[in-house]
Homo-oligomer: A and B are copies of this chain.
């Protein structure tokens, strides 16, 4: 594999009891996955763990050593259940320190707010020793980078700001391109066509995603490739296959 074709990978660790209790619907997996795709990086695995030091530390070490990048979300606020920084530091084997720049950012942010920079708020300036900061224009408290580990907020709107600050700064590979064909058809009716089409088009993968809407059966077929040429050829072949079976389809999906 040439270095141009190297596939860059990322793991994601979502931290928080609220996700595992079903109380909060996670939005960061989809948000970070979409952002990574544009950076030419593939989200290869995501994990969700509770607010538990050992569970977080174990997952951090498993994922940061398996993939090029590791992103975490959640657990970096000012309250007692925000233990992500401590757990990541434990995983990395470094102490937790107050980052002077983070402290200055928080001092500035809380100047006019009730109570000022309290002990609780100062918790948000704590980082694993050796870390740098990821700017966050929304709420003051920055994200944290340590080597290939990126520690982000749990609130999706804040994570979006941090991702924005990172856009274009990470090394990635070719962007995975997609083309979607959708039809009001049971996927089982075109299973043979899908398999044969994928087999005939090197470097393309076809995913089949069925749904039930308004009492009808349909499916979207998503072709993925890093080559626009291969993608176009595969989409054309799949479309021709649908037509030969007498099936309507729509490019872009339904």
Residues of A within 8 A of B (CB): 16-27, 29-37, 42-51, 55, 77-82, 113-115, 118-121, 123-124, 138-139, 155, 157, 176, 178, 186-189, 191-192, 194-195, 198, 205-212, 222, 224
Residue among A23, A49, A113, A187 with the highest chain B CB neighbour number at 10 A: A23
How far is the CB of A83 from the nearest CB of chain B, in Å? 12
Bound CA span A33–B121, Å: 31
State in angstroms the CA–CA spacing of A236 and B165 once bound together.
42
Task: Choose from B44, B80, B178 the contact partner of A195 (Cβ within 8 Å).
Answer: B80
- The residue in chain B whose Cβ has the minimal distance to the Cβ of A157 is B212
Q: How far is the CB of A246 from chain B (nearest CB, A)?
A: 11
Q: Are A188 and B118 CB-contacts (below 8 A) given A48-B45, A155-B211?
A: yes
The answer to whether B26 and A191 touch across the interface, beta carbons within 8 angstroms, is no
Enumerate the 7 nearest inter-chain pairs by beta-carbon distance, A residue then B residue, closest first: A120-B191, A22-B33, A22-B34, A78-B188, A80-B195, A46-B48, A79-B208
The docked-state distance in angstroms from the alpha carbon of A198 to that of B46 is: 30
Contact (Cβ within 8 A) A47 B50: no
- Assess the B22–A194 pair: CB atoms within 8 A: no
Partner among B20, B205, B209 whose Cβ is within 8 Å of the Cβ of A33: B20
Q: Across the interface, do A207 and B37 meet the contact criterion of CB distance under 8 Å? A: no
